[in-house]
């Protein structure tokens, strides 16, 4: 089951210019966002640990996507 709610993701697509968004498209975008977010989070955690910290900071997240 998805961690992210579908409605806000649907709004993101609408804000990007779509008039209509299928439920399947929203669900797939949720799946992809969660997958990508988990990869970023894992790298950010690794960077924090490498720096000797337990706390993930904004710079860890930014470095993880760079």
Residue 12 belongs to some domain of the structure: yes
pTM above 0.85, yes or no: yes
Q: What is the CATH number of the domain that holds 59?
A: 1.10.20.10
Q: Which residue range(s) make up the domain with 31?
A: 6-65
Residue 42 belongs to some domain of the structure: yes
Average pLDDT over the chain, rounded to an integer: 97
- How many domains are there within the chain? 1
Residue-level pLDDT at 2: 81
Residue 1 belongs to some domain of the structure: no
**pLDDT tens digits, residue range 17-49?**
999 999 999 999 999 999 999 999 999 999 999
For 25-56, letters b (16+ CB in 10 Å) and e give ebeebbeeeeeeeeebeebbbebbeeeeeeeb
Question: Does 1 score more than 90 pLDDT?
Answer: no
Residue 32 belongs to some domain of the structure: yes
């Amino acid at each position: 089951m998805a961690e992210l709610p579908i409605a806000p993701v649907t709004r993101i697509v609408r804000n990007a210019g779509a008039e209509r968004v299928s439920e399947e498209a929203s669900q797939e975008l949720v799946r992809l966002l969660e997958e990508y977010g988990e990869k970023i989070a894992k790298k950010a955690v690794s960077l924090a640990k490498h720096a000797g910290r337990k706390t993930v900071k904004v710079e860890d997240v930014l470095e993880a996507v760079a």
